[in-house]
């Protein structure tokens, strides 16, 4: 065990000990190798190239996965086109719906297996994969299944048409859930899909491909091409793709925007964030503390909408920070498959290095760093929950997306100052506000430039609720009736 650079003043240790409560990993059977899912079948990459996906909690290899090259992407797009012009594209909405309902049901039936798989490949706590990722993925298919034969009621005219072949590139933080967010509305609207999961978390998308087979989804309606950035770039740039949907960093989002310029491809982007979580003096403090913790430490902070900037009203700033430290001291970091675990592993060595770099910048720029007493496992990629106080708006940790369990605390005196500070970012994905005053909640909600505003709650998601950003957090919405617009020619 290695000791963390951590200061523990003001924080109590864990109040009581837990016995380990590991979820069994035996429920997941992993093959040694996984192929690409093209035209309804699994096949190796044409070049024979593969890459290895590892368990970030142990650095043990999980499986070898095919790395799709340009030729494979060609074949996947061709398969999607054939399905669009054939079976899936010609199918009536009410029939499409039944396939999506089937997929939702199979996800529910295999929920435990998928949860363990997701925790293995991603490093997130089983509590989260079991209670959030997998049920929401099933719910997303269930929700959009119902739209498939009701598109004329969605508010886009009497007979909205699908776009064609959708190229969809998704991130590693919610691998299965993001696949569901992309596939479900696209399929419901009658499109076919080429999905490129993230390099470090390809497995749940491949399991989802198996589920599509199990559901007898027409071949080619969903294709999964695994690989790294080059594979994603090939999907985005492919002339046979009619629509591009991307979730990931703002930097890559801008590159994709440039790639599709002039192509007439439709584009939606769900990108980074640097959300403000604003706590007023009259907030319900106990609930706010839970909301702050959930806001930034959910999924190790690998959340684009994470509440990474805590804006606290000056009169309660000391109280909130003290209570927050006490609460953080009770968080349990470790084995993602342990049902008691609150903080799992960082997804990759690369991401860990980025978090360390930015946290170090926080210290160097003069903010005060604090972590609870916390020992990190020797193997794997880990970062302790970290809170910076004395942060100013110019600090990198207040401006740049860290995408890790690092919270920057700033203070304010008036609602107007809170809004000015909250909006002082090129991003605009989400925001939080905590107060018992209803009129202040609604005033804040009006003035915060963010696509999602959580009031007296944080990090809630639902398939019926539109999600997406303002400004450099991207454009387009996922979820709800609004999420259909991205996949219809309207």
Partner 1 sequence: MSEPTGRAEVRRTCKLFVGGAFPRSESGRSYVVSAADGTPLANAALASRKDARDAVVAARGALFGWAGATAYNRGQVLYRVAEMLEGRRAQLAAEVGLAEGLRPAAARRAVDASVDRLVWYAGWADKVAQVLGASNPVAGPYFNFSVPEPTGVVVVLAPQKSSLLGLVSVLAPVVVTGNTAVVVASEDRPVPAVSFAEALATGDVPAGVVNVLTGRTAELAPVLAGHMDVDGIDITGAPYRAREELERLAAANLKRVLALDDVPETQPTLRRTRAFVEIKTVWHPVGT
Nearest-CA neighbor of 315 among 362, 281, 289?
281
- Per rule CB under 8 A, is residue 108 in the interface with partner 1? no
C-beta of 267 vs 333, nearer to partner 1: 267
With contact defined as beta carbons under 8 Å apart, do 116 and 23 qualify?
yes
The answer to whether the beta carbons of residues 309 and 274 sit under 8 Å apart is yes
Q: Is 131 in the site for partner 1 (CB under 8 A)?
A: no
Residue 475 binds partner 1 (CB under 8 A): yes
CB of 465 to partner 1, least distance (A): 5
Name the one range near partner 1 by CB under 8 A: 75-83, 162-170, 253-261, 387-395.
253-261
Cβ-based nearer residue to partner 1, 4 or 440: 440
List 35, 160, 253, 336, residue binding partner 1 (CB under 8 A): 253
Query: Contact with partner 1 (CB under 8 A): which of 26, 258, 394, 439?
Result: 258
Active-site residue list = 270, 304
Return d(Cα 48, Cα 43) in angstroms, integer: 10
Question: DSSP label at 374?
Answer: -
Q: To which residue do tokens 């959708």 refer?
A: 166
Determine, following the binding rule CB under 8 A, whether residue 471 of this chain makes contact with partner 1: yes
- Smallest distance, partner 1 to C-beta of residue 9, A: 34
Q: Which stretch binds partner 1 (CB under 8 A): 7-15, 69-77, 386-394, 469-477?
A: 469-477
> Applying CB under 8 A, which part among 78-86, 93-101, 348-356, 449-457 lies near partner 1?
449-457
Cβ neighbours of residue 394 closer than 8 Å, sequence gap 6 or more: none
Neighbours of 347 (CB within 10 A): 26
272 counts as binding partner 1 under rule CB under 8 A: no
Residue 263 CA, distance from chain mean position: 28
Other beta carbons within 10 angstroms of residue 463's beta carbon come to 23
Query: What torsion do the CA atoms of 300, 301, 307, 309 make, to the nearest 10 degrees?
Result: 110
Angle value at C-alpha 358, between 355 and 363, nearest 5 degrees:
120
User: DSSP assignment, residue 131?
Assistant: I
466 forms part of the interface with partner 1 (CB under 8 A): yes
**Minimum gap (Å) between residue 453 Cβ and partner 1:** 5
The least CB distance from residue 457 to partner 1, in Å, is 5
For residue 412, what are the β-bridge partners? 313
CB of 182 to partner 1, least distance (A): 18
Q: Does 189 bind partner 1 (CB under 8 A)?
A: no
| C-alpha to C-alpha distance for 121 and 175, rounded to whole angstroms | 9
Q: Residue 477 CB, nearest distance to partner 1 (Å)?
A: 5
Q: How deeply is 282 buried, as exposed, middle or buried, from its count of CB atoms within 10 A (0-12, 13-18, 19+)?
A: middle
Residue 396, C-beta contacts closer than 8 angstroms, at least 6 positions apart: 358, 361, 362, 365
- Of 51 and 156, CB closest to partner 1: 156
Give just the sign of the alpha carbon dihedral 331, 274, 379, 353.
negative
Q: Among 467, 484, 486, 487, which residue interacts with partner 1 (rule: CB under 8 A)?
A: 467
Mask 388-427, x = binds partner 1 (CB under 8 A)? --------------------------------------x-
Helices (H) and strands (E) in the chain, counts: 16, 20
Which residue stretch of 115-123, 325-333, 360-368, 463-471 sits at the interface with partner 1 (rule: CB under 8 A)? 463-471
For residues 393 and 410, give the distance between their C-alpha atoms in angstroms, rounded to a whole number.
Answer: 8
Which positions from 429 to 448 touch partner 1 by CB under 8 A, shown as an x/- string? ------------x---x---
Is 242 among the residues that bind partner 1 (CB under 8 A)?
no
Q: For partner 1, which is the closer residue by CB, 309 or 477?
A: 477
Binding site residues, partner 1, CB under 8 A: 139, 155, 157, 250, 253-255, 257-258, 260-263, 269, 271, 426, 441, 445, 450-457, 460, 462, 464-468, 470-472, 474-475, 477, 480-482, 485, 490
């Amino acid at each position: 065990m290695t000791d963390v650079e951590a200061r523990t003043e003001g924080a109590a240790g864990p109040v009581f000990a837990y016995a380990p409560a590991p979820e069994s990993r035996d429920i997941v059977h992993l093959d040694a190798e996984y192929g690409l899912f093209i035209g309804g079948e699994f096949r190796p990459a044409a070049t024979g190239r593969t890459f290895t996906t590892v368990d970030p909690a142990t650095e043990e290899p999980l499986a070898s996965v095919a790395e799709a090259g340009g030729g494979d992407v060609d074949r996947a797009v061709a398969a999607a086109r054939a399905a669009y012009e054939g079976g899936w594209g010609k199918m009536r909405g009410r029939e499409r719906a039944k396939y999506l309902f089937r997929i939702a049901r199979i996800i529910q039936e295999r929920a435990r297996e998928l949860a363990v798989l997701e925790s293995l490949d991603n490093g997130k706590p089983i509590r989260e994969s079991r209670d959030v990722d997998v049920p929401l993925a099933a719910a997303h298919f269930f929700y959009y299944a119902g739209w498939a034969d009701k598109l004329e009621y969605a508010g886009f005219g009497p007979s909205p048409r699908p776009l064609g072949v959708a190229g969809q590139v998704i991130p590693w933080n919610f691998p299965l859930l993001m696949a569901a967010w992309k596939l479900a509305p696209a399929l419901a609207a009658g499109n076919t899909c080429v999905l490129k999961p993230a390099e470090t978390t390809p497995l749940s998308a491949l399991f989802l491909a198996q589920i599509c087979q199990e559901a007898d989804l027409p071949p080619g309606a969903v294709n999964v091409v695994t690989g790294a950035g080059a594979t994603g770039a090939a999907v985005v740039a492919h002339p046979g793709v009619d629509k591009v949907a991307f979730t990931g960093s703002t930097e890559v989002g801008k590159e994709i925007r440039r790639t599709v310029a002039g192509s007439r491809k439709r584009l939606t982007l769900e990108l980074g964030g640097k959300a403000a979580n604003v706590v007023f003096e009259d907030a319900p403090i106990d609930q706010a503390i839970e909301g702050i913790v959930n806001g930034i430490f959910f999924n190790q902070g690998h959340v684009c909408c994470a509440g990474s900037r805590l804006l606290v009203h000056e009169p309660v700033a000391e109280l909130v920070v003290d209570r927050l430290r006490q609460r953080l001291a009770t968080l349990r970091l470790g084995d993602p498959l342990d049902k008691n675990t609150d903080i799992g592993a960082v997804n990759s060595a690369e991401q860990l290095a980025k978090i360390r770099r930015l946290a170090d910048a926080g210290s160097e720029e003069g903010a005060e760093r604090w972590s609870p007493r916390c020992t990190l496992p020797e193997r794997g990629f880990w970062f302790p929950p970290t809170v910076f106080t004395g942060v100013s708006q110019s600090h990198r940790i207040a401006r740049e997306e860290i995408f890790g369990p690092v919270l920057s605390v700033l203070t304010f005196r008036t609602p107007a100052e809170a809004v000015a500070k909250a909006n002082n970012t090129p991003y605009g994905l989400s925001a939080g506000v905590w107060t018992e005053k209803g009129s202040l909640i609604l005033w804040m909600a009006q003035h915060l430039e963010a696509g999602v505003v959580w009031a007296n709650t944080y990090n809630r998601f639902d398939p019926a609720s539109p999600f997406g950003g303002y400004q450099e957090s991207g454009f387009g919405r996922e979820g709800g009736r609004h999420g259909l617009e991205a996949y219809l020619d309207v």
